[in-house]
Each structure stands twice: as structure tokens, then as C-alpha cells.
A = this chain, B = another copy of it.
Amino acid sequence: MRPSQRAADELRPVTFERNVARYAEGSCLIKFGSTHVLCTASLEDKPPAWLRGQGRGWVSAEYAMLPRATHTRTKRESTTGKPSGRTQEIQRLIGRSLRAVTNLQGLGERQITIDCDVLQADGGTRTAAITGAWVALHDCLKWMRQRSIIKDLPLRDHVAAISCGVSNGESVLDLDYAEDSAAETDANFVITGSGSLVEVQATAEGAVFTETQLTAMLALARGGITTLVEMQKAAVA
């Protein structure tokens, strides 16, 4: 039995709350159980410097945790002087995932920054962030269409993410912090609404893993992401 009493293929309770940030062009507070991430989309009317004059836009992400999102207080990264390696890995992953389903030509010479701020962390913050960030991005694009800045939503598909792991030898879906700390293998999957793969990251934590386990985790992830994409659809309907 899992610590949270869930079945191996069972997600934690997931909720999406839109329009939570008064000033952002799009926003979504997503909860995967006790993991809470506030995602905001900010539109800027010019692309990053390195992209100027190419007729395309850009979508990037920043990720951070409030100091007391975690069991014990984490030092603020503004005090340590720079985002940690972990923070940078995560924000690069979120950005890549969103760009995989965005038509950057259709966006025009503009930039959208998605800020994913973890208010509370109980495992799976990066996958919740990607899943919520899609909604914030969607709403920002809709905001732009309403103001005739763009004609069509330059979004090719949904994208969502979920973690899997091998825990006590069994493959399980959507690890919380307790399970994640003890898992032998830890994996994150980013998958589109049509089921294509965007990113697969599987890491041996305490023990190496087999191809069979990788395949089992991927199957679990597909199930979870099907549910998440349905919830995204309901949320933005």
C-alpha cells in the first residue's frame, strides 16, 4: 500500500483555479494534493534581444519556491545570489514543454513569461507547474485574441506532466514527498494532448532500473496525463 493509500495508478486530488492574479494576462493556481503552484503568464510586447527581427516570439518560464513552502525553511535564492542548479533545470524544462505546443511564428515578435511560484511543496512541483502553466499560457493567449493582438490561438495542443517512480519495486503514479524521498527511481513525463512525448526524464536514485520498469512508468504516466488534459479542457471551457 502507498503511504497515501492511493492505488498505483491514482492521481492525488487535482484542482485548477483560473484568474487568481489580478494583474497577470493569464493565471492559474494548480493543486496536486498538498502541492500548490501559482502560475502567471506575463506578456511583453517585444521578443528577447537574441530573437529580434526574426518574426517569431518566445515563451519561457521561471520557477521558485517560497522559503517556507517546504518542511524546513529553504534559503531565499535572492540571498544566495543566484538560482540553484535544480531551479534552473526545472525552469528550462517548463519552458521547453510549453514551446513544444506553441506556434512561435503565430505569437509574433512578443514574449510570454510564465512564473511558477510554489506556495506549498509536497512532491511533484515541476509537473504541477507544467500542467498549470499551460492554462495560464492559454488564458494569456485568449486575452490577446480578445484584444485583437492575435487572430488565432497559436497553441497546437495541450501539454501536461506527471511524475512516476519505482517504490518498493512497484511502479506508481504521481509521487508525494514522502514517497518521492524513498523511491528507488524517479521519472517525469511531459506528454501532449494527442499522446506524443515531449520529455522523458528517468533517474536512478537508489537503484538502477530496467526497461520494463521504464515502460510501466510510461504507461502509468499516459493514464495520468489523459486525466490531466481532460481537466485542463474542463478548466478553460
Tell me the A residues contacting B by CB distance below 8 Å. Answer: 21-24, 27, 34, 38, 40, 42, 44, 62, 64, 66-73, 76-85, 87-89, 91-92, 96, 100, 113, 115, 117, 119-120, 122, 187, 192, 196-204, 208-211, 214, 218
Measured between beta carbons, the chain B residues less than 8 angstroms from A78 are 64, 76-78, 80-83, 87
When the two chains form their complex, are residues B209 and A196 in contact, meaning their CB atoms are under 8 A apart?
yes
Measured between beta carbons, the chain B residues less than 8 angstroms from A40 are 66-68
Given contacts A68-B115, A83-B78, A88-B89, contact A211 B203 (CB under 8 A): no
Copies in the complex: 6
Which residue of chain B is the closest to A21 with respect to CB atoms?
B68
Given contacts A67-B115, A85-B89, 18 further A-B contacts (CB under 8 A): A22-B34, A22-B120, A23-B72, A38-B66, A38-B119, A40-B66, A42-B67, A42-B72, A42-B73, A68-B115, A78-B81, A78-B83, A82-B82, A88-B88, A89-B92, A198-B204, A200-B200, A211-B218
Measured between beta carbons, the chain B residues less than 8 angstroms from A42 are 67-68, 72-73
**Is chain A's interface secondary structure helix, strand, loop, or mixed overall?**
mixed
CB distance from A46 to the nearest CB of B (A): 13
